[in-house]
């Protein structure tokens, strides 16, 4: 155990000073929900609310949205390497990404790579290749596993050993700070074990892997059907303690969310108001509350009584700096290795994140860029490394290879 941060917990506590922004434009977001009128008429129509949400999502920069149109544009603008379409590997270095895996799922990919004579490199070689043109040799790929799920130690590590492959795992230290054996993420001892073996290259996935609110309009609530994953739950507080929205916070308002590492300014909603929403639901039947007729208007009335605020540009910069510097520092201290690469959660990194990563001493950064190449080439941008879905491993030249259309 090392001394940084605390385990994610579920309490809420007030932070900051609340401006009057909500008061200045209290109803602008809601006319679409039923016309200018009472609070009731603004919140009671479910369908327009969904439509409004869609419209709200459209305001997020195109390059941060994983849409079908984006996929098509990527194909026609040549973002994908030619080996996906039956061509040669041709001196490029592809990077494949996985998350949580089982042995049955992962092993066939490793088998394909092994039987077809591929070798693997990790972050150091990636940096030397893209920055200095140091060759990695033919038939070389990078395997990466995001988030360091428990399966990284239970499944991936022994398989890497069996197949003599190396892989990178990207870790957000705040997520594993107090992890114990049996948790969903690996423990520090697991990470040390894997790192010491030389088979696993542990690198940074920022400090907290955070989603933040970037708008002050309520788009939904934590209802009994809330099913966002832990990391997709927007952060409520992100100082030493990272607190996120979870399914237990029934009644909590939800706003449009984007990655902390985007250039978005974070909206900090009024803690007394969301606390009151949750208390109101608890006092009125919990999950049963949402079967009533007027639950949305009751909650919206509470929300409209509060005041939130947007963070300042200085606060945004300070948080982005901390996300990058602290993750690097904590991992280096715990593992005694060099943390040279950061992988942006959801591959979203704004201009600010890129500049800050450079200043924090990262040599390379995994992040999307509109129309960027989804592979590494010598002389490419080291701060916009883009990866490929692991399913495309089967498109690599070899026996029984597939094409992008049959993967
Ligand atoms: Zn991740």
CA of 169 to the centre of ligand 1 (A): 10
CA of 266 to the centre of ligand 1 (A): 20
Q: Are 175 and 144 in contact (CB under 8 A)?
A: no
What number of CA atoms fall less than 13 Å from residue 386's CA on the CB side? 16
More confident residue, 231 or 357: 357
Kindly state the average pLDDT of the residues 168-197.
91
For residue 98, pLDDT over 60 is answered with: yes
pLDDT at 392: 95
CA of 60 to the centre of ligand 1 (A): 20
pLDDT at 371: 78
Q: Tell me the pLDDT band of 325, cut-offs 50, 70 and 90.
A: very high
CA of 210 to the centre of ligand 1 (A): 9
Locate the domains of the chain by residue range: 21-58+211-259+271-306, 68-207+315-395
For residue 13, pLDDT over 70 is answered with: no
Q: Tell me the pLDDT band of 168, cut-offs 50, 70 and 90.
A: very high
CA of 307 to the centre of ligand 1 (A): 32
Question: What gap in Å lies between CA 41 and CA 30, rounded to an integer?
Answer: 9
Question: If 0-12 CB within 10 Å is exposed, 13-18 middle and 19+ buried, where does residue 265 land?
Answer: middle
CA of 346 to the centre of ligand 1 (A): 6
pLDDT at 31: 31
- Domain at 68-207+315-395: CATH architecture: Alpha-Beta Barrel (3.20)
CA of 268 to the centre of ligand 1 (A): 23
Mean pLDDT of the chain: 85
Q: Tell me the pLDDT band of 1, cut-offs 50, 70 and 90.
A: very low
Residue for token pair 């996935």: 205
């Amino acid at each position: 155990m090392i001394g940084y941060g605390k385990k994610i917990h579920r309490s809420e506590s007030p932070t900051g000073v609340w401006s009057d922004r909500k008061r200045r434009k209290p109803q602008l977001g809601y006319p679409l929900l039923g016309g200018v009128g009472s609070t009731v008429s603004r919140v009671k129509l479910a369908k327009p609310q969904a439509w409004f949400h869609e419209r709200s999502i459209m305001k997020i920069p195109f390059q941060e949205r994983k849409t079908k149109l984006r996929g098509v544009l990527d194909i026609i603008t040549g973002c994908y390497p030619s080996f996906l379409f039956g061509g040669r590997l041709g001196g490029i270095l592809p990077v494949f990404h996985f998350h949580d895996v089982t042995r049955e799922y992962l092993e066939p990919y490793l088998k394909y790579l092994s039987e077809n004579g591929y070798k693997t490199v990790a972050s150091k070689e990636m940096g030397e290749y893209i920055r200095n043109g140091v060759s990695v040799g033919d038939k070389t790929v990078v395997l990466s596993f995001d988030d360091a799920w428990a399966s990284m130690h239970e499944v991936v590590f022994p398989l890497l050993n069996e197949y003599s492959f190396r892989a990178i795992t990207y870790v957000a230290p705040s997520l594993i700070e107090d992890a114990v054996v049996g948790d969903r993420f690996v423990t520090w001892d697991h990470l040390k074990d894997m790192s010491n073996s030389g088979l696993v290259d542990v690198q940074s996935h920022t400090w907290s892997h955070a989603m933040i609110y970037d708008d002050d309009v309520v788009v939904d609530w934590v209802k009994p059907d809330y099913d966002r994953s832990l990391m997709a739950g927007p952060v409520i507080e992100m100082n030493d303690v990272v607190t996120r929205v979870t399914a237990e916070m029934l009644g909590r308002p939800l706003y449009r969310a984007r990655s902390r590492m985007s250039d978005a300014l974070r909206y900090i909603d009024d803690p007394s108001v969301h606390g009151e929403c949750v208390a109101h639901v608890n006092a009125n039947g919990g999950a049963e509350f949402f079967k009533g007729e007027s639950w949305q208007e009751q909650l919206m009335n509470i929300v409209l009584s509060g005041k939130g605020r947007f963070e300042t540009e200085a606060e945004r910069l300070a948080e982005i700096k901390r996300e990058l510097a602290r993750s690097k520092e904590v991992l280096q201290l715990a593992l005694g290795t060099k943390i040279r690469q950061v992988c942006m959660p959801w591959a979203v990194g704004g201009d600010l994140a890129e500049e800050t990563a450079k200043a924090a001493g990262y040599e390379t950064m995994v992040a999307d860029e509109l129309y960027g190449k989804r592979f590494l080439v010598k002389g490419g941008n080291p701060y916009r490394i883009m990866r490929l879905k692991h399913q495309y491993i089967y498109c690599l030249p070899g026996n029984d290879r597939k094409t992008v259309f049959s993967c």
